Amino acid sequence: MLGVVLVGALPSALAGADSFSPVRLTITVTPLARLHAPLAISVGVSADPGALDTRSGPLRVRVKLANECGGTFRYTSGVVLLDKQLTPQPSTGHAYSAVASGSGRPVGYGIQTVCTWLDDQGASRTFASDQSTQINVSATCTRAASRYGAARRQRPGRGAAAERRRQHALATARRAARRACGPGVPL
């Protein structure tokens, strides 16, 4: 009878363990981006005490913007947004927290995935990965921001009336770009 109780208890104990993650990645990036414009990203790494003790080399955060994530950074086609060694490196037996930042320039329109890995460079293994964040590289945002950029580059008009028209056109282009791109997208 005891064996039956233990067997019945094991599946629920194992199910609870699946939702536990000793190493966590927190990705901060805007949900909308412009084609060929810098897309900034930061990745926070946090780990429970001892979770990273088995590493054999430096830890590195690697991120690509891709149509589809491969199994590893190396086998994923896409734009590199971040590829940096973490500083400081984890201490044995202690909790860990660090942030790495970078940027890249999207090269294609559409919905793309932010493919993120925390890799051990010594053993060529991955401690954590995330493919849950998506970015819309928007043609509408890109066009509106380009119009605003062109309006900003215009030379001042001759006379007060010409300058007022230029300032009005600049303000109109800025509002249109903010509407199309939303907050967080650099114009």
Q: Render pLDDT for 49-93 as a digit per residue (tens, 0 to 9).
A: 999 999 999 999 999 999 999 989 999 999 999 999 999 999 999
- Please tell me whether residues 27 and 119 are part of one structural domain: yes
Asked, for residue 14, whether it belongs to a domain, the answer is no
Which tokens is 69 given?
């994530």
At 17 the pLDDT is 33
Task: Give dist(CA 115, CA 78) in Å, integer.
Answer: 9
Asked, for residue 53, whether it belongs to a domain, the answer is yes
In Å, the largest CA–CA distance within the chain is 96
- Please tell me whether residues 89 and 177 are part of one structural domain: no
Please count the structural domains in the chain: 2
- Please tell me whether residues 144 and 103 are part of one structural domain: no
Is pLDDT of 18 > 60?
A: no
Query: 128-180 pLDDT, tens per residue?
Result: 999 999 999 999 999 999 999 999 998 887 888 988 999 999 999 999 999 99
- Please tell me whether residues 104 and 121 are part of one structural domain: yes
- Please tell me whether residues 131 and 152 are part of one structural domain: no
Which residue in this structure is represented by tokens 């062109």? 150
The identity of residue 155, as a single letter, is R
Containing domain of residue 148, as a range? 139-181
Is pLDDT of 5 > 80?
A: no
DSSP for residue 61: E
- Please tell me whether residues 41 and 88 are part of one structural domain: yes
Q: Record the pTM.
A: 0.82
- Please tell me whether residues 34 and 125 are part of one structural domain: yes
Buried b (16+ CB within 10 A) or exposed e, 44-72: ebbbeeebbeebeeebbbbbbbbeebeee
Task: Give dist(CA 153, CA 130) in Å, integer.
Answer: 40
Q: Assign residue 132 the CATH number of its domain.
A: 2.60.40.10
- Please tell me whether residues 165 and 103 are part of one structural domain: no
Task: Give dist(CA 42, CA 184) in Å, integer.
Answer: 13
Asked, for residue 3, whether it belongs to a domain, the answer is no
